[in-house]
Amino acid sequence: MMNDDAAGIVIKGLTHSYGLDENHRVMALAGVDLVIDEGDFVVILGPNGSGKSTLAKHLNVLLLPDEGDVWVFGMNTKDPDFTWEIRKNAGMVFQNPDNQIIATVVEEDVAFGPENLGVDPKEIRERVTRALEAVDMLEFARHAPHYLSGGQKQRVAIAGILAMEPKCIILDEPTAMLDPRGREEVMQTITRLNQDMGITVIHITHYMDEALYADKVVVMNEGKIVMQGTPRDVFEEEELISDLGLDVPPIGKLSRMLASHGVPIDSNALSVDELVDELCQLK
């Protein structure tokens, strides 16, 4: 069951429902089609309960489709022979880093994944060093993870995934509990992994400004994809965005208010620097 077109991730007609009891099921995914190219940085937005986490869990075979198919680097998630290979290549990071930390020393924690994959010890040591370097945490290798800050813990969790050398990482609200600097650190870390190492990134968030890091934004609602495009394209649709219970980032709102009051600037300036540059060009 290899897919000829070995793109990054291909999802076709995916549905998923959860059984509550014999008579009741919840439709969490109601027919999702999505293609994510290798090396893409994708941000998934959507109101609570729209199916984002459910979709993410299909990408590393924590869930299987009711209908439809999911191919991860050409491998169908329904084929049990591929489960291991898919999990190796698509690593997940969750919201609460405490739930992901296993060992009492950072480097042992990072080594846990590759050890499980049966990688040989010498290679593991190299991978751990590389992974900690990639997230800029090498100097904390001998520290106890439980006494790191939230942002640092989250970077250790990402290093643990990296040490498995996946081609793709999926992050489900990894920044929800972080302070502003921790949030920025995590976003910069994953941007670097994406740009320097070509790792495919799928990032789920309720912080609209984090969507600005993406090549492609996917918006979900009621188990379906309702919008896809660049951050600019997506936030251009202000009305639809707000009907879905989402929002334009604060600076986007300010730009729009100014432009609609006749200030001759790009009404779709979304970041602080964009807006400041736009304003400073005015004569």
Binding positions for Mg ion, rule: CB under 5 A: 53
Does residue 258 contact residue 278 with C-beta atoms inside 8 Å?
no
**Site for ligand ATP contains 145 (CB under 6 A):** no
| Among the listed residues 4, 22, 24, 48, the single contact to ligand ATP using CB under 6 A | 48
**Site for ligand ATP contains 50 (CB under 6 A):** yes
**Site for ligand ATP contains 64 (CB under 6 A):** no
Does residue 168 contact residue 89 with C-beta atoms inside 8 Å?
yes
Site for ligand ATP in 196-235 (CB under 6 A): none
For residues 71 and 90, give the distance between their C-alpha atoms in angstroms, rounded to a whole number. 11
For residues 206 and 36, give the distance between their C-alpha atoms in angstroms, rounded to a whole number. 20
Alpha-carbon 133 to chain mean position: 21
Q: How far is the CB of 112 from ligand ATP (least distance, A)?
A: 21
**Site for ligand ATP contains 51 (CB under 6 A):** yes
Does residue 72 contact residue 9 with C-beta atoms inside 8 Å?
yes
Q: How far is the CB of 123 from other proteins (least distance, A)?
A: 32
Q: Which is nearer to other proteins, 107 or 278 (CB)?
A: 278
For residues 186 and 181, give the distance between their C-alpha atoms in angstroms, rounded to a whole number. 9
Q: How far is the CB of 170 from Mg ion (least distance, A)?
A: 12
Q: Which is nearer to ligand ATP, 148 or 163 (CB)?
A: 148
Q: Which is nearer to ligand ATP, 85 or 222 (CB)?
A: 222
Q: How far is the CB of 3 from ligand ATP (least distance, A)?
A: 25
Kind and range of the H or E run holding 130: helix 121-134
Size of the site for ligand ATP (CB under 6 A): 14
Contact stretch for ligand ATP (CB under 6 A) within 41-49, 100-108, 124-132, 265-273: 41-49
**Site for ligand ATP contains 53 (CB under 6 A):** yes
**Site for ligand ATP contains 26 (CB under 6 A):** yes
Q: Which is nearer to ligand ATP, 209 or 278 (CB)?
A: 209
Pairing outcome for strands 200-204 and 216-221: unpaired
> Measured at the alpha carbon of residue 66, what is the angle toward residues 33 and 203, in degrees to the nearest 5?
45
Q: Which is nearer to other proteins, 196 or 239 (CB)?
A: 239
Phi, psi values for residue 205, rounded to 5°: -155, 160
For residues 4 and 233, give the distance between their C-alpha atoms in angstroms, rounded to a whole number. 31
Phi, psi values for residue 226, rounded to 5°: -110, -10
Contact stretch for ligand ATP (CB under 6 A) within 45-53, 65-73, 236-244, 247-255: 45-53
- Which candidate, 81, 137, 88, places its Cα nearest to that of 114? 88
**Site for ligand ATP contains 181 (CB under 6 A):** no
- With a CB cutoff of 8 Å and minimum separation 6, the contacts of 78 are 1, 64, 65, 69, 70
**Residues at the contact surface with ligand ATP, assessed by CB under 6 A:** 18, 20, 26, 28, 46, 48-54, 147, 150
